[in-house]
Chains A and B, each alone.
Chain A
Amino acid sequence: MATRTATRAPAPSEATARRPGRLSTGKVVLTLGGWFVGLLFFFPVLWMFLTGFKTEAQASTDPPTFFFTPTLDQYQAIFERDFAPYFLNSVTASVMSTLLVVILATPAAYALSIMPIPHWRDSLFFFMSTRMLPPVASILPLYIIFNNLGVLDNINALFIIYTVMNLPIAVWMIRSFLLEVPKEVLEAARLDGANLSLELRKVIVPMIAPGLAATALICFIFAWNEFFFAVTLTSTQAATVPVFLVGFITSEGLFWARLSAACTLAVLPVIIAGWVAQKWLVRGLSLGAVK
């Protein structure tokens, strides 16, 4: 983006060159409009954040309360309601699945790009097709099998499901990063007699480290926000943060401040991860198709 901005800016020698620091009317309108829609879209998140620091009386008032003395009561109440285990389950399921996804997807992407198997296209599109199938298509057998194996409401079972859910995205994304590794580097490594595992660990992983980090963040976001499998396959022991939020459906109108505080805790990790990874977000969402 920065490079393009530079190429589009008029050359200083041109007669039409604008003096720096002077804003045209169009620019002012553009700036105000841009900030207005940005804040409009962001407002619900901001409001949630603010409401979490109100008392319940301030949270539901007509007209809405904009100025108040912040209190941490709601956060305290949430932790008294045993929020911590849900949060830990979410951390476990998302972090473990993300690690496993990267460990499995990197060699798989390698076999679909650098040293491709015959018919690598078919495998690549097979991965993507599994991501497009609705989760409802597999939930019943998974529920019944998990029940028979005694792993219903088990955090390890959930993290394996999240691994499978994110593998296609990771394979496609990591592959798009692998294709950018210069071939000469790999050939040099191979001449040095490096075997595959060594080549991956010592040569490839360091070179695509930023790409792997981006992939991991995207997978983390999807796993952290996942609700369908969490609500069907867990109940008390392995329930994650979104399942904790279900408890607020019935308490509508009574605990808005507490609800907002819980939502803030629920969304904070992913918002931070997303802001950090925003440069790569579009690549992950389009499965590597769009840079």
Chain B
Amino acid sequence: MTAVVDQVTPPEAPDRRELTQGQLWRRRTPLLPALILVILLTQIPFLLTIWYSFQDRNLLRPGSGQFVGLDNYSEVFTDPLFRNAVGNTIVMTVSAVILSLILGLALAVLLDKVFPGRGIVRTLLITPFLVMPTAAALLWKTSFFSPVFGLINWVLAPFGVGNLDWVSTYPMATIVLVLVWEWTPFMMLILLAGLQSQSPDILEAAKVDGAGGWKTFRLITLPHLRQFIDLAVLLGSIYIVHTFDVIFMITQGGPGQATTNLPYFIYQEAFRAFDVGEAAAAGVIVVAATIVIATFALRRVSEVFKGEV
């Protein structure tokens, strides 16, 4: 069993010249409804976002919408709140991705071994990823992080931790903790699939040759896992960069602006300040940055599909 879908090659796409117009359209038709709907609701709004980003548009001032050139962009780039949001986004994403990757790898190695109840443990471990993030955030904020009745302070009480208010003292750490809890299962599932696609023969051969567990892991398993790690990191980053719900529920971007990331910053600009122009400009900048990451991701994914795409 190999984990990466690569055995089946699709029939090679025909050359456009070999097909009559009729044949061409017969092939295209099944694709069109989905394609048109996606273009209509993602590409056109994005073009409009670019258009708005050159305008002085505010939802509270009807009739606003004069062309102001690059004013919104210079406003965004000189806005300390925007730069703060960029920094927060990077800290939040990088720490959540790295921590969940490490934990996910450890759990994947654990679940790759056979022990009684492994299936149940696996089911328990994926559950955090399934929990609605808004619900998870509320739950952590109240039952776990609360200074007086929170479970974390109760567990840490023997270590001299008093009524510590986690959310206001360590706002970024609390957000990252919830994100790590949520995303570790995601990393684990992809890495576990990678581990289970290893050829048992090679591992057996390494054992016969006298390689110890750690050596085998470092020299054989890790290189094999490389593409799975890349995939997990890239997909994980793309999803975690978009984090909005957890911040909305736990800190509302605060205290101050301590946990305002880019999506939350744009949300505030658009739906609290109603400054469409600046929000749109910030949105365009975020998309440009995402395209850079996504290009790597797409290249990586197509390598994973090698032999097929």
Contacts and interface: CB of A to CB of B under 8 A. Distances in A.
Interface of A: 1, 3-5, 7-8, 27, 30-31, 33-35, 37-39, 41-42, 44-45, 47-48, 51, 59-64, 104-105, 107-108, 110-121, 123-130, 132-145, 160-161, 163-164, 167-168, 171, 176, 179-180, 183, 196, 221, 224-225, 227-228, 231-232, 241-242, 245-246, 248-249, 252-253, 256, 259-260, 262-263, 266-267, 270-271, 273-275, 278, 281-282, 285-291
Given A163-B37, A179-B5, A282-B190, 18 more contacts: A4-B200, A31-B116, A45-B127, A47-B143, A117-B28, A117-B31, A120-B10, A128-B298, A132-B238, A134-B262, A176-B5, A179-B8, A242-B134, A242-B135, A253-B142, A263-B135, A270-B130, A291-B5
Contacts of A62: 148-149, 154
A231 B59 CA distance: 18
Given A113-B10, A133-B42, A41 B125 contact: yes
B305 interface: yes
B239 to A, nearest CB: 9
Given A7-B200, A164-B38, A134 B49 contact: no
Interface in B80-136: 107, 110-111, 113-118, 120-136
Question: Which residue of B33, B38, B114, B149 has the most chain A CB atoms within 10 A of its CB atom?
Answer: B38
B151 interface: yes
The A interface, classified by DSSP as helix, strand, loop or mixed, is: helix
Contact of B134 (A5, A126, A246, A285): A246
Contact of A137 (B15, B130, B287): B287
B226 interface: no
B195 to A, nearest CB: 10
Contacts of B142: 252-253, 256, 259
A135 B42 CA distance: 9
A140 B138 contact: no
B123 A267 contact: no
Contacts, number: 347
A241 B135 CA distance: 9
Contacts of A256: 142-143, 149
B196 interface: yes
Interface residues of B, number: 120
Q: Which of B1, B52, B134, B245 has the most CB of A within 10 A?
A: B134
Contacts of A4: 1, 196, 200
B5 A44 contact: no
A38 B185 CA distance: 11
A17 to B, nearest CB: 15
A42 B125 contact: yes
A140 B283 contact: yes
B31 A285 contact: no
Given A225-B132, A270-B131, A291-B3, A105 B34 contact: yes
Interface stretch (B68-76, B214-222, B264-272): B264-272
B231 interface: yes
Nearest to B263: A136
Interface of B: 1-5, 8, 10-16, 19, 24, 26-31, 33-35, 37-38, 41-46, 48-49, 52, 59, 107, 110-111, 113-118, 120-136, 138-144, 146, 148-149, 151, 154, 181, 184-186, 189-190, 192-194, 196, 200, 228, 231, 235, 238, 241-242, 244-245, 248-249, 252, 262-263, 266-267, 270-271, 276, 279-280, 282-284, 286-287, 290, 294, 297-298, 301-302, 304-305, 308-309
Contacts of B193: 282, 286, 290-291
B3 A8 contact: no
A206 to B, nearest CB: 18
A245 B135 contact: yes
A141 B48 contact: yes
A53 to B, nearest CB: 14
A1 B128 CA distance: 23
Contacts of A133: 42, 46, 287, 290, 294
Contact of B113 (A30, A45, A245, A271): A30
A64 B184 contact: no
Contacts of B4: 289-291
A60 B2 CA distance: 49
A118 B309 contact: no
A115 B31 CA distance: 11
Nearest to A243: B134
Contacts of B1: 3-4, 291
Contact of A289 (B29, B242, B287, B301): B301
A127 B298 CA distance: 11
B184 A140 contact: no
B45 A145 contact: yes
B5 A288 contact: yes
Contact of B287 (A31, A114, A134): A134
B283 A136 contact: yes
Given A134-B287, A136-B267, A267-B131, A41 B185 contact: yes
Contact of B231 (A116, A143, A145, A289): A289
A266 B5 contact: no
Contacts of A31: 115-117
